[in-house]
Amino acid sequence: GQVHCLNAADGTEKWSYELPSSPLYVGAPTSMGDINNDGFLEVVFNDWYRLGALDHNGDLLWVYNIPGYGQSFRGAALADVNEDAYMDVTFCSSEGTVISLNGLDGSLIRSIDLQADFGMNFGAEHGPLVADFNNDGVLDVFAAGGHAEYPAIENNYGAAYMISWGAGNGPDWAMFQRDYRRTACVCNDSLLQTTEPVVIAMEPTVPDISVYPTLFVRELLLVGKEALPPLELSLYNISGLLLYSQAFTGGDKKVIVTLPELPPAAYILRIQTAAGQSEQLLFRQ
């Protein structure tokens, strides 16, 4: 039932925290972001039926009791969903609910009971995604859940829900633990403080380079608004294993890349230039 913060340089412990009243089990991944706009990263954690937020010194900011003694086993998404100045905390509960809390004080913004809609036992134990998936100007929440048994898999069932959630300032939390590196962190250089010198930089972008199609067979098209700079292309499987790499001298606005035969799956394409790198999720159909 403890959350530990380690110095990344040497592995020494900076602080640890456990709830003062019956700490139990912190099994879900933590999420990090500046949810109270103090210029530092806060840590959102789940200890069984209690979801809490710690400041960068390891002090408790607030704690919320999940109804029905539920737990958020896959962690929380951080994104503003009520158009205020603060990122909020959205999570799924093992009791079949999706809940958003105000990042500043942990108060309830809204919730929905998916189990009541589904009509059967429905544990929503997946991490939610938050983004405007249909481009209507309103943030949506994608959540999934159900019931699983083993070895009696014939008793398994489940469902996925896309829920129009509310207007907000985001940012998007569009995959499990937010990004390809699973940082579960909304981090940027504005959080670089003299007393907190370690910041996780998010994916840098390579200007004016687009990749088509995202659902590919063998060929990819790289398109630049101007002549492409010298670059190196690398393709990885979802486990991070390098499958293909090729360097291009640049000079053209369009480049066709022929990839090796690959099985249908998700892949990560990395474009490296002198200016930086970007990564894009692709799917082999």
Say how many domains are in the chain: 2
**What pLDDT score was predicted for residue 204?**
52
Residue-wise pLDDT for 236-263, tens only, equals 998 889 999 999 988 888 999 999 999 9
Tell me, yes or no, whether 64 and 92 share the same domain: yes
Percent of the chain with pLDDT over 70: 93
Tell me, yes or no, whether 145 and 226 share the same domain: no
Tell me, yes or no, whether 124 and 238 share the same domain: no
Tell me, yes or no, whether 122 and 161 share the same domain: yes
Average pLDDT value over all residues in the chain? 90
Residue 165 has pLDDT above 80, yes or no: yes
Q: Is the pTM of this model over 0.75?
A: no
CATH number at residue 81: 2.40.128.630
Residue-wise pLDDT for 195-216, tens only, equals 444 444 555 555 578 899 989 9
Tell me, yes or no, whether 186 and 213 share the same domain: no
Q: Of 160, 191, 222, which marks where a domain is finished?
A: 191
Q: Tokens standing for 122?
A: 């429905």
**What pLDDT score was predicted for residue 206?**
54
Tell me, yes or no, whether 234 and 130 share the same domain: no
**Residue type, position 33, single letter:** G
Of 52, 49, 18, nearest in space to 35 by CA = 52
Residue 200 falls inside a structural domain: no
**What pLDDT score was predicted for residue 207?**
57
**What pLDDT score was predicted for residue 85?**
83
Residue 191 has pLDDT above 70, yes or no: no
DSSP, res 80:
B
**What pLDDT score was predicted for residue 188?**
65
Percent of the chain with pLDDT over 90: 70
Tell me, yes or no, whether 186 and 51 share the same domain: yes
Tell me, yes or no, whether 264 and 155 share the same domain: no
Q: Tokens standing for 96?
A: 């079949």
Q: Tokens standing for 3?
A: 């959350």
**What pLDDT score was predicted for residue 53?**
98
Q: Is 237 left (phi over 0), alpha (psi -120 to 50) or beta?
A: beta
CATH number at residue 271: 2.60.40.2550
Angle at CA 277, nearest 5°, toward 274 and 283?
140
Domain that holds residue 90: 3-191
Tell me, yes or no, whether 214 and 155 share the same domain: no
Minimum mean pLDDT among 68-82, 115-129, 161-175, 193-207: which range?
193-207
Residue 99 falls inside a structural domain: yes
Counting beta carbons within 10 angstroms of the beta carbon of residue 269, is it exposed (0 to 12), middle (13 to 18) or buried (19 or more)?
buried
Residue 203 falls inside a structural domain: no
Residue 198 falls inside a structural domain: no
Residue 41 has pLDDT above 90, yes or no: yes
